[in-house]
Chains A and B, each alone.
Chain A
Amino acid sequence: MRVTKRILVAEDDPVTARFVGSLLNEHGYEVIVADDGDHALALAADAAPDLIVSDLVMPYRDGYEVLRVLRSDPRFRAIPVVILSMRDREEDIVRGFEQGADDYVVKPFNARELVARVRKLLEPRGP
């Protein structure tokens, strides 16, 4: 049981990545950043994050495919995933949840809200 939770941020826009990284750091989380879909999966395997914040439109593998791979692998099936994307159409959001996302936040996003959602997903469910 890790004391400081580790969050993997999969985001190809460096500015957003820096923002989300510093935001989560500020709230006491350890952050690792992947800048494309393949890198995200590699880091998920190596670094065993406790939660993943992922963009949808990324090079090499988009967020949906990353989700699909994560959900079909028993090692990662339980990791909560929050999608953070510019795509705001109903189809995209529904598809995100259908593929196994635990939450979907649309960009431009509310920082404090994102933290609240992350925190909620990381706290253990009561007995």
Chain B
Amino acid sequence: MQRVLVLAILSVTAVFSALTLLIVAGKAFREIRDARRRRRRNALEPLVLAYAHGDARSILPALGGGVSRRDRPVVEAILLDHVQRVRGVERDRLGRVLDELGFVETYLAGLSSPRWWVRARAAEHLGLSRAKRATPHLLRALDDDAYDVRLRAAKALAAAGGTAAVAPLAKALSEPNRFATIRIADILAGMGRPVVRELIDVFPHLSRHGKLAALDILGRIHPPEAVAWLNERLADPHPDLRARAAHAIGAIGATASAGVLREALDDPEWPVRAMAAKGLGRLHDEEAIPLLCAAMRDREWWVRANSGEALRRIGPAGIAALEGMLDDEDRYAQHQACLVLESAGMLERRVAELPSAGPGRDAALSLVQRFVRVGQTARLCELAATHRDPVVRDALARLLPLTEAAEEVVR
């Protein structure tokens, strides 16, 4: 027993001492190295930036012919830091330096490393450098075993690969890990119209969330030529896909889509109804006004909210409809109408007409009274206390139930 304990103590002490030594030595080493790197960075960064801003053909003369081995990591860090923060000519120049100084070669070699983090880092840096000749290597890396490598390769391809990369990237939307899907979607969306054809072609082969991402991308690119195809998606058996398609259709805003969106307002699933409402708002479809008013009585909050917002977007006809909804039987619809009218500034506008004598005043009185009846009086109380015009304050104070106005004044 005793011997076991002694052994335990000795081994722990040994490991402990080793750890301590490791920490101390590591820290000392790192501090010296970092101090040196900081100094070198201060010396070298202006040279690199001067090259980027200027138009010299090569950076080598400015760097005295080349970069010493110890300075390589410093220069690499400078280049990688700046290359991801700029676009255009300067970015291309910095990318060319990465090639000229041999870093791109190192990264290409790194893609074959047995260690996943080396491969991932290599792919990431190749993406930052935008070296066109890396494209075939990166395409191969899209099939790597390690998820991180696939992710970085996809990102790099989107940045460097040009149109050749679109097809494999679109297929990669089926990537099981969603973070990759988001990255790829962002990048594809950034590439714009050239991507649309490819997405539509590859669509049937994508996984469900790949399809969702593809529809999302189409919504962000909003290509008019995809409208017909998107309209067909509204018949898809899966509700999430229908909803995304409706959203994309709304984003494109083609007036021809109004009909299908109006139909989608009747969809049994609420996400589809919500997106259809949103789309109709963007289309400024006046014919949909009665349907949207009905949708304001929907059981689901998002559908009601989007419908109200859509009515507001449609314009004066929609706003008039909203004011009509204040008399509706459905309590939620009344509330929603109040909210939208308030946020659209209608309350303020009408209330400002209270001092006048004429139809404006009548409309204002009517509106305020309906708000009071619905019970949404907080903003009115606020105005009763703080409005610039004393006539308005007075009028409001008389219209509001006594207790609330008094409470407001005390505040």
Contacts and interface: CB of A to CB of B under 8 A. Distances in A.
Question: Are A and B in direct contact (Cβ within 8 Å)?
Answer: yes
A110 B54 contact: no
Given A22-B53, A23-B53, A26-B50, A110 B45 contact: no
A26 B52 CA distance: 11
A120 interface: no
Given A22-B50, A26-B50, A26-B54, A107 B85 contact: yes
B82 A19 contact: yes
Contacts of B86: 19, 108-111
Interface in A84-121: 107-113
Interface in A22-73: 22-23, 26-27
A111 B46 contact: no
A113 B52 CA distance: 14
Given A22-B46, A109-B86, A112-B89, A15 B81 contact: yes
Nearest to B42: A18
Contact of B85 (A19, A27, A112): A19
A25 to B, nearest CB: 9
B59 to A, nearest CB: 15
Contact of A110 (B49, B53, B82, B88): B88
Contacts of B52: 111
Contacts of B88: 110-113
Chain B, interface SS category? helix
A108 B86 CA distance: 5
B87 interface: yes
Contacts of A16: 85
Interface string B301-339: 000000000000000000000000000000000000000
B14 to A, nearest CB: 43
Interface string B242-266: 0000000000000000000000000
B45 A18 contact: yes
Contacts of A111: 52-53, 86, 88-90
Contacts of A15: 81-82, 85
B84 interface: yes
Contact of A108 (B46, B50, B85): B85
Contacts of B84: 108
Among B50, B82, B84, the most chain A Cβ lie within 10 Å of the Cβ of: B82
Nearest to B93: A111
Nearest to A23: B53
Nearest to B81: A15
B49 A19 contact: yes
Interface string B139-155: 00000000000000000
A109 B88 CA distance: 8
A85 to B, nearest CB: 12
Given A15-B82, A18-B45, A109 B87 contact: yes
Interface string B41-59: 0000110011011100000
Nearest to A110: B88
Among B49, B86, B91, the most chain A Cβ lie within 10 Å of the Cβ of: B86
Nearest to A19: B82
Interface in B78-108: 81-82, 84-91
Nearest to B77: A15
Nearest to B53: A26
B99 to A, nearest CB: 20
Contacts of B85: 15-16, 19, 107-109
Contacts of B81: 15
A107 B88 CA distance: 12
A108 to B, nearest CB: 5
B87 A110 contact: yes
Nearest to B88: A110
Given A18-B49, A108-B87, A111-B52, 4 more contacts: A26-B50, A109-B87, A110-B88, A111-B86
Interface of A: 15-16, 18-19, 22-23, 26-27, 107-113
20 contacts: A16-B85, A19-B49, A19-B85, A19-B86, A26-B50, A26-B53, A26-B54, A108-B85, A108-B86, A108-B87, A108-B91, A109-B85, A109-B87, A110-B86, A110-B88, A110-B89, A111-B53, A111-B88, A111-B89, A112-B89
Interface of B: 45-46, 49-50, 52-54, 81-82, 84-91
The 7 closest A-B pairs by CB, nearest first: A110-B88, A111-B90, A22-B49, A26-B53, A110-B87, A15-B81, A108-B87
